[in-house]
Amino acid sequence: MHVAEAGEGDPLVLLHGWPQHWYLWRGVIPLLAPHAHVICPDLRGFGWTDVPGSGYDRETMARDVLALLDALGLERVRLVGHDWGGWIGFLLCLRHPARIARFVALNIVPPWPSRNPRNLLELWRMAYQVPLALPQLGRRAVELGGARLALRAASRAFTEQEIDVFTERLQGDRARASELLYRTFLLSEAIPVAAGRYAGLPLRVPTLLVFGERDIGIPTRMVREHADRSELLELELVPDAGHFIVDEKPQLVADRTLRFIGSTVARGTD
């Protein structure tokens, strides 16, 4: 695993989502580094991390993060995750609460099942995942501009140079990794999660969910319903931000992170 690091002090791990890598945190790192040892890994198949031919389910990717913590000698960390990095963060909190002191999730919903049948009407929002998941066609879609289109369509925060930084890494085997990421989710994870795969695992880690309301993939109503399921989950809705809230609001993300876990990072206590 490739890791970008900055700062000193207690560890604070930041997990990116698709179609990005550690550079997602470019605007946040300078704000967090004076207060913590900031650790930004590239997840399996992304950025400069190795690209194995399998293992793109979220459980395996969560175990990758645990293995990284072990390799770095970190028993317990504070965690921030965006998009799939946020989903992986929730799995770490549910499966390994002793390893995570506090968690900030960004524009993702927890992986517990919905209790509202109305959410079936929102499945159209996941339609973009289908072409990405198709054998051979998914990787070609990524290579021929699918990732670039996703960034442009979801936010005006990116410069062309920033889009290039992200999309230039999504070629060849890394484009195939994106295909496997979504195919694994749609074929092996989505239905078990909806059926209650994690329903019996209570959230024991204090968690803050910061969510940009302009997210076109996840309705705010669903976010509120999921947040109400746990007393340890606080929700902040940001009306003038979308899915790529880290790119759009780096100061806000850093501020909320430090407000929620920053003082404990500085003191090294909970």
Ordered per-residue pLDDT tens for the chain, 270 residues: 999 999 999 999 999 999 999 999 999 999 999 999 999 999 999 999 999 999 999 999 999 999 999 999 999 999 999 999 999 999 999 999 999 999 999 999 999 988 888 887 888 888 999 999 999 999 999 999 999 999 999 999 999 999 999 999 999 999 999 999 999 999 999 999 999 999 999 999 999 999 999 999 999 999 999 999 999 999 999 999 999 999 999 999 999 999 998 644 433 333
Alpha carbons 50 and 80: distance in angstroms, whole number: 22
* CA distances from residue 200 to 42, 203, 211 in whole angstroms, order as listed: 30, 10, 25
Instruction: Tell me if the bond preceding 19 is cis, omega within 30° of 0.
Output: yes
pLDDT at 270: 39
Tokens for 140?
Answer: 């070609």
Cα→Cα distances 157→76, 148, 170, 248, Å: 33, 13, 20, 5
Nearest 5°: the CA angle 211, 214, 215 is 65
Per-residue confidence (pLDDT) for residue 265, from 0 to 100: 40
What is the C-alpha to C-alpha distance for residues 83 and 89, in angstroms, rounded to an integer?
Answer: 10
Structural domains of the chain, with CATH: 3-264 (3.40.50.1820)
Would you say the C-alpha torsion 175, 181, 184, 187 has a positive or negative sign?
negative
pTM over 0.85: yes
Q: What is the structure's pLDDT at 259?
A: 96
**pLDDT given for residue 140 in this prediction:** 97
| Pairwise CA distance, residues 81 & 89, whole Å | 6
Contact 229, 112 (CB under 8 A): yes
